[in-house]
Amino acid sequence: MTEIIEVINRSAQGMSGVHLCKGDDHKKYWVKGHNVSRLDQIKEWICAHLAVSMKLPFPEFKLVNFSEELIDCLPNDQKIIGEGPAFGTVDVDNSQWFQKSSIKLIDESLAIKILLFDFWVQNLDRTDSNPNLLFNHTKKELVVIDHNLAFDLEFNESDFFDLHVFPHLKDKIFGDLFKKEAFELKMAQAILSAKESLNQIPEQWQWTDLEETCPIELDYDSIFAILNLYQQPSFWSSK
């Protein structure tokens, strides 16, 4: 596990309390520590494995650790990160927040896969105003980030397509039997990867507090029930 040795600053984008940090491996990481909910960290961990298995352009990720000594040295507004293991993604060089004006530069097959992925994990948090995508204009490369709001218990299909950054592509997925066949096997394999990832979730993430007195309320079965909805004909029907 990479040890964090410096907290550089807090992200100006989004609302999820991400901090840019430096690890003892000399890499920079965007980290979600105890200042976000444990549920958020677990959702990020599961979705990261799903995304990688689905061959989405997801940044390198791993568990990183904040020592008690480092936390003690931080200013008060950063101590909320909390000691112990956290979720970190490697900083993507030369990338900027994706703007809708760049949409014509995005490979359509990738945009289709992102739309399907978000529908699958019930993620309403990829909109025009908050795309949670990074884009390298020089290389024309897109990077997918931020899935802490996935598995939304209030997920609404109509809202999803009204808000998503790539809603114009829905007819190229849903109602298309060829797309269905192409993706179903990949989704089944991704679910297996996500289930295996549960064995690596730190014990500390099972508690809402650092003192480990309040267990989290998370039903893993409900998460995988959502993921298995792809087996239903209604999942693939025209929207």
The pLDDT score that the predictor gives to residue 12 is 61
CA gap 76, 74 in Å, rounded: 6
Helix (H) or strand (E) holding 62: strand 61-66
Split at pLDDT 50, 70, 90, the class of 16 is low
pLDDT tens, residue by residue, 106-122: 999 999 999 999 999 99
Task: Name the 3-class secondary structure at 110.
Answer: helix
The pTM assigned to this predicted structure is 0.94
> Of 71, 73, 74, 92, which Cα lies nearest the Cα of 11?
92
Looking at residue 13, what is its pLDDT?
A: 59
Kindly tell me if the per-residue pLDDT of 199 is higher than 60: yes
> Which residue segment(s) compose the domain that 223 sits in?
1-239
- Report residue 231's pLDDT band, with 50, 70 and 90 as the boundaries: very high
* Contact status, residue 231 vs residue 188, Cβ threshold 8 Å: no
pLDDT, position 117 = 98
Q: Over the stretch 52-93, which tens digit does the pLDDT of each residue have?
A: 999 999 999 999 999 999 999 999 888 999 999 999 999 999
Q: What whole-number distance in Å separates Cα of residue 206 and Cα of residue 42?
A: 9
Q: Grade residue 14 by pLDDT with cuts at 50, 70 and 90.
A: low
116 contact partners, CB below 8 Å, separation of at least 6: 173, 183
Does the pLDDT at position 15 exceed 60? Answer: no
Other beta carbons less than 10 A from residue 29's beta carbon: 26
Quote the pLDDT of residue 153. 87
Q: How many domains does the chain have?
A: 1
Pairwise CA distance, residues 211 & 207, whole Å: 8
Q: What is the pLDDT of residues 151-189, one digit of tens each?
A: 998 999 999 999 999 999 999 999 888 889 999 999 999
Q: Mean pLDDT throughout 86-101?
A: 93
